[in-house]
Structure 1
Amino acid sequence: MQAVDSVFSGGAGLKVRGQALVFDADDTLWENNILFERVIDDFLHWLEHPTLDKTEIRAILDDIEAANAVVHGYGSKMFLRSLGDCLERLRERPATPQELRHIDELAAALVEGRVELVPGVAETLADLGSRHDLLLLTKGDTDEQQRKLDVSGLAHHFRDIHIVAEKDVDTYRWLAREHGLTPSTTWMIGNSPKSDILPARQAGMNAVFIPNDNTWVLEHTELDPDDAGVLRLRSFAELTDHF
């Protein structure tokens, strides 16, 4: 991924105490998608096809995941369903019980309960929490996201936590109403252009984009390089240089 500069062209509002900072969770506070990518690599290696290569199979899987996410939401359950659907589409028959068991075995790491924090997250949240109002906004399966949050040990940093089915502009407008936030002094902090940055900006909030090399492909989209309401950082720890 191309390097980004730690520069905010707008300048206004930085280093001002008492702002509302809203944090994404997956791939912002802790690593998440890299676990799914490892499973996909193993799945593609196992699922050989006589005419399609791994890149072509991955494109089919991405399409299946995109469709399933609309109906079934996000998380490991939807992901496992998508792997099974991909197998059935490519082999043109229902998956056997043995094949489904093998998929479960490939994805075992997703449900083991381990959480790997992004470097500097715990210390940075503790520092920011001494000056600002911290909220957490994450999407996905409620039980799965709550489990990761519990294991992470980060919940105490946030005044309130919301696990939602989708993070679109209506979600951010609802969040502002729910907590009486002033959008112009509220910052959404995350790694996903699609779910964290663009809809927050559309709701009138500022945003901090912290890229993660392992961001899910379906969360990618282009950002306006001239948008003065987006602060681009290289790392989570850099937040304390600006807030």
Structure 2
Amino acid sequence: MKVTGQVLIFDADDTLWENNILFERVIDDFLHWLEHPTLDKTEIRAILNDIEAANAVVHGYGSKIFLRSLGECLQRLRERPATPEELRHIDELAIALIESRVELVPGVAETLASLGDRHHLLLLTKGDLEEQRRKLDASGLAHHFRDIHIVREKDADVYRWLTAEHELTPATTWMIGNSPKSDILPARQAGMNAVFIPNDHTWVLEQSELDPHDERVLRLREFPELLNHF
């Protein structure tokens, strides 16, 4: 489907709604529950980060993979398989994730409504297809977007595919998100412009260095500031 005019592509998790903070709360509860006899919370968190990074490459993203990572972390630390009771407790810790609760970032709904009157809006998010659709449905934001794409990973090839799919002009296309790794850098590699809106709770595995001299990356503090530029 060809899209003409200026196009704004939006990330979802931690751009439109809070996401990683829910995972961080579960991790805090998990670390407190473990009470490892020799490792402190920082050391255990480093082990969990490594497990999550490996699972993301093989299995992708989402709450199911996250729970898998917690279970594997428990097994590694206790050097035995997790018991059914322990796995059940992990599930209970993560009930907010399993239910796909959604808390919109302040000003998102109003800002999208205004931008949609003047520009073409697309959504590009990664993760588990079913889980992301549930969150999108719960958010009530789907009607703002001309098209929605849920992908396994967001790299430069995906952005090039999106450009071809919609016959986009990269010079008038902007990717808007909180993740340097998945939103800003690959979009720039594909020739698009980008808007970086940092989230204090962005996942550590989504962090990466941005070129401070890149004039085609607009840096904002809050989502509603988009209305000052588009």
* TM-score bin (small chain): over 0.9
Q: Shift of the alpha carbon at 1:184? A: 1.0
1:86-123 Cα shifts (integer Å, max 9, x gaps)? 00000111001111011011111112232100000000
User: Matches of 1:68 and 1:107 in 2, distance apart?
Assistant: 18
Q: Which amino acid aligns with 1:218?
A: L
2-structure distance, mates of 1:229, 1:145: 29
Say if 2:101 is the partner of 1:89: no
Q: Check conservation: 2:182, 2:206, Cα contact below 8 A.
A: yes
Give 5+ residue unaligned stretches, structure 2: none
Q: Does 1:183 align with 2:170?
A: yes
Q: Distance in 2 between matches of 1:82 and 1:160?
A: 32
Looking at structure 2, the residues matched to 63 and 176 of structure 1 have their Cα atoms a distance apart, in angstroms, of 33
Q: Are 1:98 and 2:80 an aligned pair? A: no
Please point out which of 68, 72, 86 is paired with 2:59.
Answer: 72
1:185 & 1:90 partners in 2: Cα distance?
50
AA in 1 matched with 2:61: Y
Task: Please report how far the alpha carbon of residue 51 of structure 1 lies from its aligned counterpart in structure 2 after TM superposition.
Answer: 1.1
Q: Which of 99, 110, 122 is 1:123 aligned to?
A: 110
Match of 1:54 in 2: 41
Q: Percent of aligned pairs with the same residue?
A: 85
Match of 1:145, SS? helix
Residues matched between the structures, number: 227
Partner residue, 2:217:
230
Runs of 4+ in 1 over 2 A off after TM superposition: none
Whether 2:206 is the aligned partner of 1:219: answer yes
> How big is the shift at 1:44?
0.2
Q: Which runs of 5+ in 1 are unaligned?
A: 1-16
Q: For 2:76 and 2:101, locate their aligned partners in 1 and report how far apart those are by CA, in whole Å.
A: 32
- Whole-Å separation in 2 of the counterparts to 1:112 and 1:140: 15
* Aligned-residue RMSD, C-alpha: 0.9
Q: Which whole-Å CA distance do the structure 2 matches of 1:136 and 1:109 have between them?
A: 24
Letter in 2 for 1:167: K
SS in 2 for 1:166: coil
The TM-score normalised by the length of structure 1 is 0.92
CA contact 1:18–1:131 (8 Å) conserved in 2: no
Aligned residue for 1:34?
21
Match of 2:183 among 165, 184, 196: 196
Larger relative contact order (Cα-Cα within 8 Å, sequence gap ≥ 6): 1
Aligned-partner residue type, residue 164 of structure 1: V
